[in-house]
A and B are shown apart, each in its own frame.
Chain A
């Protein structure tokens, strides 16, 4: 069984705070690591797909890093805004089947 663990489970921050979440995954047979943002009443939307050890990706105030050798990825949000409030999911893909295993998510609440 492949386990993908995310921490913390939930996070409450003030507007303007920077924050980061962790995703840990099996380091063997790695293929890709995905990050998704899931807002209430909407479908999850992809933020990043990373495949190479040491990868760093950025989209606006959100960035992510990847360490495939030790099996973790960090998602950073700089200067959190209320509209960043959502559940952030990471997903791990192993082998070449494309099967995506999700973590339980980190729910972020940003207070104005």
Chain B
């Protein structure tokens, strides 16, 4: 069966520090991978999605970047965090036209 792992669950980081959130998928090959963010009181904003290794589409200009070094690994990074990067981050995977499966999420607080 397919599973998705996302970590850490919570993170408190000072402004200006780097960020690395990791997501791995098991039990499927060549999935579409996504990073979403839920800002307070809002829905899910698509940050990045990837259809294959090394293929990253950025949806909104921001202080974050993503990488897909392996087929089932998706990493969200920042060199220097801003206060506005605080939020709830969700990783997800899907195959085209089937449902998306989500990780447990990371609550990031930048202080």
Contacts and interface: CB of A to CB of B under 8 A. Distances in A.
Contacts of A46: 99-101
Interface of B: 32, 34, 36, 42-46, 49, 51, 57, 90, 92, 94-105
Chain A interface main SS type: strand
Of the four ranges (under 10, 10 to 19, 20 to 34, 35 or more), the interface on chain A belongs to: 20 to 34
A97 B46 CA distance: 14
Interface of A: 6, 31-32, 34, 36, 43-46, 49, 51, 89, 91, 93, 96-105
A99 B103 CA distance: 17
Contact of B96 (A45, A96, A104): A96
B97 A43 contact: no
B99 A98 contact: no
Given A34-B99, A49-B98, A102 B43 contact: yes
B103 to A, nearest CB: 7
A32 B99 CA distance: 10
A49 B97 contact: yes
B34 A100 contact: yes
Contacts of B102: 43-45
A99 B95 CA distance: 10
